[in-house]
Structure 1
C-alpha cells in the first residue's frame, strides 16, 4: 500500500473542512431561524384548521391574553441576564392585585394610591429577594421560592382567604364600601382606537424600554457581563452586588405592573387570579433564548416567546383541544426551543 501524497492529503482535509462548514452553516441557520419557522408553521396550521384564527379580533384577544404574561417575563429576563432566576413573580403579581383591590375597596383610596402601593410592593419584594441572594448567599431559586410562598399566604390574611369586592364583610365585622375607580378600571379595559388594549401598549413600551436598556446602555452590558462571568466583572470594577439587586427590583416592579393590569381587567380582588402566570412567564423567557439564535436572555425574544405561547394556547382552544393537554404541549414546545438554543448551537461552535 502506498502512502498518500501531500497534495492528496491536503485535498482530503479541505473536503472534510468544507463538509463541516456546510453542515455547520445548516445547523446555524436552524438555530437562528428555527423558532421563527416553527412559529410561522404553527400559524399556518391553525389558520388552515380554523380560518378565524388570523382575524383581527382573535389576534387582539391573543395580544391581550399574553400582555400580562409578557410583562412578568420581561422581569424574569432581567434576572436571567445577571445569572439569576425569580420564581416569585407570579406571587408578586397576585399580591399586587389583592393590594390594589384592598386600597380602593377597603380603604377607599384612589387610582394613584393603589398604583403607588403596588409599585412600592414590587420594589420592596425585589429588594428583599436581592438582599437574600446577594448578602445572605441564599440560592436564588430557594430565596424566590420562599418569597413566593410567603406572599401567597400573606395576601390571604387581611380578608381571611376571601376575594375582595364591594360590600364584603371584613374579618372585624365591618363592611367594605369602597369601589374600583373608573380611571383604574380603564387600565385594564380601555382600548386605543377601540382596538388595542392598554395592557398591550404597556407590554410593547416595556419591551422596547428593557431591550434598549439591556442592549444599548452601559448598564445593560455590565449586567450581561455579570451573568456571563461575575468574578471577571467584579475584577473589572463592576458593582456586581448592586446590579444583581437592581435586576430583582426591576423584576418586582414588572410583576407589580402585571398585577395592576390584571386587577383592572377583572375588577375585583380575586384570590385565584394569577395562579398560572409564573409558569407561562418562565416559558416565555426561556423560549426567548431561541429567537434568532441569540442564546441569551433578551427582551425582544421574551416578547416573541410570550406571543408564541399565547398563539399556541389560543389555537389549541379554538380547535377544542382538551384543557389537560395544553401544559404538556407547552412543555414540549419549550423543550424544542431549548434544544434549538443549547443543543444545536453547541455544534456550530
Structure 2
C-alpha cells in the first residue's frame, strides 16, 4: 500500500483535483480552458526543465529566472531599439541564454565555485546589467530614448506569433513545451549522456574514476539550463509585448518548485522531465481552479506552497528511497 501510494499518489492527487474542479466549475473542463491552462504552464515547465538538468548533476541554477528576464530585455531591445527582425531577436536571445549558461559553467567547473553561489552571483549580475542599457525602464514601442529620440522599432507580428500562434487548435507555446519535454526525456532516459548526467549527480567521484569528464557534463547541464531559460523568455516577452523590467522575477521559485515536485512522480525519487511537466500542470490546475472559484491572486503563493509540500511528502517522507539530489558544494 505504501509503495503504491509513493508511486501513484502524486498522480492521483492531480487527477482528483482536476475532477473536483471540473465537477464544480463546468467551464473548467472546456477545451479552451484546457489549452489556456497548458499555455499558462508552458513557461514554468520549460524553465523547470532547465532546473531539472542542473538538479540531475547535483546542482541548482538560481539564475534561471534572471536569464528569462534577460531574454525579455534582449528581444525587446533588438526589435524596438535597433529596429531588427523577429528572427534576429530570437537568435540574439538564444545566444544570450547560451552565453549565460557558459558563464555559469566556467564559474562552477573552472573556478570551482559551488553551484548555488555561482548561479546566485550570476542572478544578481544579470538583474542589474539588464537595467543599465534601458535606465531601469521597460522597453516598449514608441518610447523616448535617453538622447530624446523616439525608438524606431516595434514588436514584429511574426515574433508575437511565438505566444499567439497555433498549430491546429493547439497554442504554439504548448507545442514548444511538449517538444522540449520529449527531447529532455529522451536525452536523460534513453541516451548514454543522460545516464552519465545521472551518474554524476549520484556520485561525481565514482563517475570521475570511471573515466567520465565530469566537468564537461556538469557545464553542459548549465548551458542547457541557460538555453531553456531563453526559450521561456521568448514565450514570455511575446506574451506581454514589451520588455518588462520585472519579467522573470518570480520564475525562479516556480521553476525550482515544479522540478522538485517532479521528483515525486512514479516514485522515481530523482529529477525527471515528465515529473517536471506534471508538476507545472498541477500548479496550473490549482491556480486556474482557485481563480474560477473566486479566490484572489494573493492566495496563489499559499496554494503553490501546499502543492510543493504535498509533493515533498511523497518524495521524502513516504518513500523509502533517498531522493537523488545533492547540491554540490
1:241 paired to 2:212: no
Does the CA-based 8 Å contact 2:163-2:238 persist in structure 1? yes
d(CA) in 2 for partners of 1:133, 1:339: 31
Aligned counterparts of 1:224 and 1:297: Cα–Cα separation in 2: 9
Query: What is the TM-score of this pair, normalised by structure 1?
Result: 0.90
- Partner of residue 169 from structure 1, selected from 135, 144, 155: 144
Q: Deviation of residue 246 (structure 1)?
A: 0.4
| Structure 2 counterpart of 1:209 | 183
Contact 1:215 1:221 in 2 (8 A): yes
Q: Do residues 179 (structure 1) and 179 (structure 2) align?
A: no
Q: What is the deviation of 1:244?
A: 0.3
Which range moved further: 165-174 or 215-224? 165-174
More divergent stretch after superposition (128-137 vs 116-125): 128-137
CA shift, 1:342, in A, is: 1.7
Residue 273 (structure 1) shift? 2.4
Match of 1:218 in 2: 192
8 Å contact from structure 2 (residues 44, 280) kept in 1: yes
3-state SS of paired residue (1:270): coil
Correspondence 1:298 to 2:272:
yes
Aligned to 2:252: 278
Write the deviation string for residues 122-172 of structure 1: whole angstroms up to 9, x where unpaired: 111111111111222222111111111111111111111111112111123
Equivalent residue, structure 1, for 2:228:
254
1:308 shift after superposition: 0.7
Distance in 2 between residues matched to 1:282 and 1:182, nearest whole Å: 32
d(CA) in 1 for partners of 2:230, 2:124:
16
RMSD: 1.4
| Equivalent position SS for 1:346 | coil
Q: For residues 201 and 63 of structure 2, what CA distance do their matches in structure 1 show?
A: 20
- Local SS of the residue matching 2:153: coil
Give structure 1 regions of 4+ aligned residues with deviation exceeding 3 angstroms.
none
Give the equivalent residue in structure 2 for 1:71: 46
Residues 68, 247 of structure 2: 8 Å contact kept: no
Give the structure 2 partner of residue 322 of structure 1.
296
Q: CA deviation at 1:275?
A: 2.1
- Decide whether the 8 Å contact of 2:7 with 2:267 is kept in 1: yes
Alpha-carbon distance, 1:347 to partner: 7.2
Q: Which residue is equivalent to 1:140?
A: 115
Q: Name the residue aligned to 1:269.
A: 243
1:335 has 2:282 as partner: no
The whole-number CA distance in structure 2 between the counterparts of 1:83 and 1:171 is 44
Partners in 2 of 1:216 and 1:181 — Cα distance?
Answer: 39
Moved more, 71-80 or 144-153: 144-153
The residue aligned with 2:174 is: 200
> Which of the residues 45, 51, 66 maps onto 2:26?
51
Match of 1:160 among 128, 135, 144: 135
**Compared CA separation, residues 347 and 274, structure 1 to 2 (3 A):** closer
TM-score by structure 2 length?
Answer: 0.95
How much does 1:310 deviate?
0.7
Kindly state the Cα deviation for residue 58 of structure 1 after the two structures are TM-superposed. 0.7
State the partner residue of 1:14. Answer: none
Contact 2:74 2:92 in 1 (8 A): yes
Tell me which moved more, 196-205 or 180-189.
180-189
2:102 maps to which residue? 127
Q: Tell me which structure has the larger Cα radius of gyration.
A: 1
Aligned to 2:301, the other structure's residue is in SS state helix
Whole-angstrom CA distance in 2 between matches of 1:113 and 1:330: 36
Q: Unaligned stretches of 5+ in structure 2?
A: 323-329
Structure 1, unaligned runs of 5 or more: 1-25
